[in-house]
Amino acid sequence: MVNRKKIEINPKFQLWTVHARRTAILRHGIWIFLGVWLLGFGISPALAHGDLHPRIEALTREIATNSGNAALYFERGELHRVHREWTNALADYDQAQKLNPSLVRVDFCRGRLWLEAENPKAAITPLNRYLAFVTNDSTGYATRARARAQLGDYRNAANDFTRAVALTPTGSPEFYVERAEALSAAGSKDEAVRGLDEGIARMGPLVTLELVAIDIETQLKRYDSALKRVDAVMARLQRKESWLVRRAEILKLAGRNEDSKAAYREALAAIEQLPPAHRNTRATLQLEASVRSALK
């Protein structure tokens, strides 16, 4: 029997981060992961992009002549997963782990598959097994966090995102945002804002983090803090029209109607000064229409 002591995942795996809700990222991320993982088995990571069937068929032929190669089943299982062929993927994962019981990564793949198949409850058990042995995989913790969040277990989801954040040397805006969402859903909005500020202190004033912080501050009716954040973001941008609109919306919520209208007028003036190539885009035209409607 294999001695499954706790292990640490190769830091190379930290290069591969996906979000279960973003199918496009998932479909491209598989190639990065397989390239790193299969190198450990001495298999070429040169996988064809586009239609997966030719590669799946090629692997099936290879398996017919080399049925004891766990890596071939593992690779085919991953391709089946990307192709959303859940049953075939699970069968290949099972065979890969049967041939090589030390492939603890298979449990991560099972968990991710169930999450993608919209069955987060089924994802928890294999992810628990995986994280019991692989102690420093940020993606593993983030994947379990997403499953827990979908099950309404927001506090434990936030805890997993905290582990994922700690295990990401350069920081991950995505993990900070998702943790804030989980904390907000758990009723800990103050903690959510503090967590976002932690990310801002670590990685700089990223708009992705500031946007979420502004929304939560607004929900908490901390309008002055939200406006301060909006002003700080605008100070760094050349185009300010959408942020002026956000400022106007917050001012209106704060009951400062005259200030709100002034901000809307400033936003409209900024839009009117845009060159035609920028002003006549669908997004800008929609923004202009909303501003004019608010000023009626």
Q: What is the pLDDT along the chain (296 residues), one digit of tens a residue?
A: 434 444 344 433 333 223 333 333 333 333 334 443 443 333 333 344 457 889 999 999 999 999 999 999 999 999 999 999 999 999 999 999 999 999 999 999 999 999 999 999 999 999 999 999 999 999 999 999 999 999 999 999 999 999 999 999 888 999 999 999 999 999 999 999 999 999 999 999 999 999 999 999 999 999 999 999 999 999 999 999 999 999 999 999 999 999 999 999 999 999 999 999 999 999 999 999 999 999 99
- SS3 assignment, position 99: helix
Closest CA to 164 of 180, 150, 145, 147: 145
Distance CA 138, CA 116 (A): 18
Residue spans of alpha helices (H) in 66-172: 70-82, 86-99, 105-116, 120-133, 138-150, 154-166
User: Do 213 and 176 touch, CB atoms closer than 8 A?
Assistant: no
- Domain 1-151 annotated CATH 1.25.40.10: yes
Q: List the end-to-end C-alpha distance of the chain, in Å, as a whole number.
A: 75
The predicted pLDDT at position 6 comes to: 42
Burial classification of residue 197, based on how many CB atoms lie within 10 Å of its CB (0-12 exposed, 13-18 middle, 19 or more buried): middle
Report the pLDDT value the prediction gives residue 50, as an integer from 0 to 100.
Answer: 54
Which burial class, exposed, middle or buried, applies to 289 when counting CB atoms under 10 A from its CB (0-12, 13-18, 19+)?
Answer: exposed
Which pLDDT score, from 0 to 100, does residue 150 have? 98
Q: Which residues contact 116 (CB under 8 A, 6 or more apart)?
A: 20, 26, 81, 84
Q: At what angle do helices 105-116 and 138-150 cross, to 10 degrees?
A: 30
Domains 1-151 and 153-220 are alike in CATH topology? yes
**Contact yes or no for 147/120 (Cβ under 8 A):** yes
Helix (H, G, I), strand (E, B) or coil at 7: strand
Structure tokens at 146: 């997403």
Q: Could you confirm whether domain 153-220 is CATH 2.30.30.230?
A: no
Backbone angles phi, psi at 72, to 5 degrees: -65, -45
What are the boundaries of each domain within the chain? Answer: 1-151, 153-220, 236-296
Q: Which residues pair with 7 in a beta bridge?
A: 134
- DSSP secondary-structure letter at 134? B
The C-alpha atoms of residue 123 and residue 99 are separated, in whole angstroms, by 22
Residue 34 per-residue DSSP state: H
Quick one: which of 213, 281, 214, 205 has its CA closest to 247? 214
Tell me which residue has tokens 């997004």: 283
pLDDT score recorded for residue 179 = 98
- Assess contact for 102 and 96: CB atoms under 8 A: no
